[in-house]
Structure 1
Amino acid sequence: MGLNKNKGLATLIGDMDEVYSKELGLDKNKTIQIPVEKIKINPFQPRKYFNKEALDELANSIKQYGLIQPIIVLKQKDHYTLVAGERRLRAYKMLGYENILALVSDAKEEKLRELALIENIQRENLNPIELANSYKDLIEVYEITQENLASLVNKSRAQITNTLRLLNLDSSTQKLIIEGKISQGHAKILVGLNKKDEKMITNSIIGQQLSVHDTEKIVKKIKNQETINLENDLEFETEFKELIKLLNNKNFKCKKSKKNLIIHLKNIDIIKKLKQIIEKIN
């Protein structure tokens, strides 16, 4: 079921017009007007965020020049499911238009996910999170490696990896990336921080309008401090164990409780002995 994977994903990604005409059996010369209210959004659409200003511009363009490129839908029993053209459909709804020009296919619904992914992977205006989700889905749907995908979409393996890593960020940070409040340059620096530091740096980027370079310097300091703290913790543990060993050799029964040293003083002689040792230190 679905797209013929024997053709190769590269072929599909390379020419969307051919994908639509062959995979959906479309004739570009046969378009019809269909009711906007009967069109349902593709549930597999990777794009989740639509810039209102851009939609306003598109609506004004459609109002002035008409719809240049028809949307593409699949015919269902009592409705149509959108395959491509959600921005155009949203613009039509904003204008209050009742009907929209469309290319209609009666292909099976299994194609929806793959077509939406391939159609969107070519869009230059996908936000980084949408692009990351598209990469993730393509890897899963086609069972390919990051190296394969990098070759197919003409990106470096590092670019694919860095984009996918954005999905490890907190959902609130991802939302800020989607809204354009944090750039991808900022975002890739945040990957790997604990959630507390991530939130703190995110707030600083927005509140203090930090540049990518400034953000990088701050994050570097945080990571260096974590390394120093780790080294200090390791040294602390080593010295603590040595101290306990030393005290045990002096017949003091003691144990460690987190960062506390507990010495059992069972009689007056033990107390006097400990006192003498401390006085010698002074």
Structure 2
Amino acid sequence: MDETRPPWSGTPASARRRGLGRGLGALLGREAYDEGLIRDLPINEIRPSRLQPRGEVASADVAELAQSISDRGVLQPVVVRPVEDGYELVAGERRWRAALVAGLQVVPAVVRHLTDQESLEVALLENLQREDLRPLEKARAYRRLHDEFGITQEQIAARLRKSQAAIANTLRLLQLPDEVQESLDRGRISEGHARALLGLSTPQAMRDGAREVERRGLSVRQTEALVRRWSRGRIPRRPAAGDPNLRAVAEELSLGLQTKVTIQAGRRRGQIVLEFYS
């Protein structure tokens, strides 16, 4: 191996230039394709961005990419912008973290002078092109573009080449209660489940619906049916909060019958309600 080549090498510069996606290159400008803008930067002079739309980077993904980088080098440059104490990542945080794990001293980078708004747009576009963002990460990023930079839904849709309806539907996920948002973020329910639950009229109904989806493993179509039924006023009553005995009996019956069981207590008599699907 030629010792004069940088540690990340292994791919010709022309191939590295092609690594930039067409959409990302268009946003950065045609000059991003010029070889002179791809330079080797010391990895310890680069820091992560406070504008990164991704909430977290999975350690397993970083470890897998680090092994690939050890074998073949960094095939696509990161994008950075100059800051007072070095460079701030704009796009490619997972590659940068993986390069650190792989022990690289330098990484290929495209250096661009970008505003906060442009940096967030570039980071969004790169992640969306790879479908790397979770639904709520997209929603929070869209909201930041609107709240911090005054960009309308129509403008966001045009810049990201999506329909305005798609942007609006994703933003609606932020109307879910925190508990339901956490279930979506953790993958316990899907985006389809979450969209269906938005059809319920109150935050409590959405929380109850999400618990039902998780408990029974409902499909999206079954969740939509449940929402329609509850919206017609057929929401199961929960046992009185002050009667733990009724709750315990209802839970035992639910486990034994593998369906929702509700005990409705009155002054003189009560009802045991079994839920089923035709």
TM-score, normalization by structure 1:
0.64
Contact 1:38-1:79 at 8 Å conserved across structures: yes
2:53 alignment partner, SS class = coil
The alignment status of 1:90 with 2:97, answered yes or no, reads: yes
Inter-partner Cα distance in structure 2 for 1:105 and 1:150? 24
Deviation at 1:27, TM superposition (A): 4.0
1:195 to 187, 191, 203: 203
1:46 maps to which residue? 53
1:62 alignment partner, SS class = helix
Deviation at 1:108, TM superposition (A): 5.8
The alignment status of 1:211 with 2:199, answered yes or no, reads: no
Q: Where in structure 2 are the equivalents of 1:1-282 lying within 5 Å? A: 15-21=23-29, 27-105=34-112, 111-140=118-147, 143-193=150-200, 194-225=202-233
Contact 1:28-1:103 at 8 Å conserved across structures: no
For residues 202-238 of structure 1, give each alpha carbon's deviation from its aligned partner in whole angstroms, at most 9, with x where no partner exists. Answer: 22322322111121222222221179x9xxxxxxxxx
Deviation at 1:192, TM superposition (A): 4.7
Shift in alpha-carbon separation, 1:28–1:206, aligned structure 2, 3 A: farther
Inter-partner Cα distance in structure 1 for 2:147 and 2:186? 26
Shift in alpha-carbon separation, 1:97–1:185, aligned structure 2, 3 A: same
Greater relative CO (CA pairs within 8 A, separation 6+): 1
Inter-partner Cα distance in structure 1 for 2:105 and 2:188? 35
Shift in alpha-carbon separation, 1:47–1:224, aligned structure 2, 3 A: same
Percent of aligned pairs with the same amino acid: 35
Contact 1:35-1:98 at 8 Å conserved across structures: yes
The structure carrying a bigger helix percent of its residues is 1
Q: Which runs of 5+ in 2 are unaligned?
A: 1-20, 238-278
Inter-partner Cα distance in structure 2 for 1:105 and 1:216? 46
Deviation at 1:21, TM superposition (A): 4.2
Deviation at 1:44, TM superposition (A): 1.2
TM-score, normalization by structure 2:
0.64
Inter-partner Cα distance in structure 1 for 2:124 and 2:115? 16
Inter-partner Cα distance in structure 2 for 1:101 and 1:150? 31
Shift in alpha-carbon separation, 1:223–1:150, aligned structure 2, 3 A: same
For residues 129-160 of structure 1, give each alpha carbon's deviation from its aligned partner in whole angstroms, at most 9, with x where no partner exists. Answer: 12222333344566454345445544444322
Deviation at 1:26, TM superposition (A): 7.6
Inter-partner Cα distance in structure 1 for 2:62 and 2:84? 30
Inter-partner Cα distance in structure 1 for 2:220 and 2:117? 42
Contact 1:26-1:103 at 8 Å conserved across structures: no
Deviation larger for 98-107 or 179-188:
98-107
Contact 2:51-2:116 at 8 Å conserved across structures: no
Shift in alpha-carbon separation, 1:226–1:146, aligned structure 2, 3 A: farther
Deviation at 1:162, TM superposition (A): 1.6
Deviation at 1:182, TM superposition (A): 1.6
Q: Which amino acid aligns with 1:168?
A: Q
Q: Which amino acid aligns with 1:205?
A: V
1:15 alignment partner, SS class = helix
Contact 1:40-1:82 at 8 Å conserved across structures: yes
Shift in alpha-carbon separation, 1:112–1:157, aligned structure 2, 3 A: closer
Shift in alpha-carbon separation, 1:36–1:225, aligned structure 2, 3 A: same
1:216 alignment partner, SS class = helix
Report the structure number with the largest CA radius of gyration: 1
Q: Which runs of 5+ in 1 are unaligned?
A: 1-12, 230-282
